[in-house]
Amino acid sequence: MAEVACPMAGVVAEVKVQPGDTIEPGQELLILESMKMMIPFQSETNGVVKEVKVNVGDFVNEGDVVIVLE
């Protein structure tokens, strides 16, 4: 089981995956809003999403686990 940590602090603007989705490197997982910019957060690995730990509007810090992979 692998955990995906958030690269930066911000507010979750969009969640682009759900449990059961197969993801690959470069795929957008979340859109974060930080400092008036929309920043796509892309996956660096392959995997299957087990759990999405954040919702739209949540505040996340750098290093927070946002997605758990199987």
Partner 1 sequence: MFDKVLIANRGEIAVRVIRACQKLGVRTVAVYSDADKEALHVQMADEAFHIGPPPVAQSYLNMDKIIEVALEAGAQAIHPGYGLLAENAAFAKRCQEKGLVFIGPKPEAMEAMGFKVKARQIMQAADVPIVPGNVEGIQDLEKAKELAQGIGYPVMVKASAGGGGIGMQIAHNEKELEQAFKMCEARAKAYFGDPSLYLEKYIEEPRHIEIQVLADNGGYTIHLNERECSVQRRHQKVIEEAPSTFVDPDLRQKMGAAAVRAAQAIGYNNAGTVEFLVDPEKNFYFLEMNTRIQVEHPVTEMTTGVDLVEWQLRIASGEPLTLKQEEIGINGHAIECRIYAEDPDKNFMPSPGKIARWQVPELEGFRADVGVYEGYTVSPYYDPLLAKFITWGETRDQAIDRMIQALESTVVDGIRTNISFHITALKSKLFREGRTTTNFIDQLKKEE
Interface contacts to partner 1, rule CB under 8 A = 7-11, 33-37, 39, 59, 62
Tell me how many degrees the CA angle 31-35-41 measures, rounded to the nearest 5.
Answer: 25
| Smallest gap from residue 67 Cβ to partner 1 (A) | 19
Q: Which residues pair with 11 in a beta bridge?
A: 33, 59
Query: What's the min distance (Å) between Cβ of 61 and partner 1?
Result: 9
The neighbouring-strand residues paired with 68 are 3, 51
Q: Please say which residue, 23 or 32, places its beta carbon nearer to partner 1.
A: 32
**Smallest distance, partner 1 to C-beta of residue 48, A:** 27
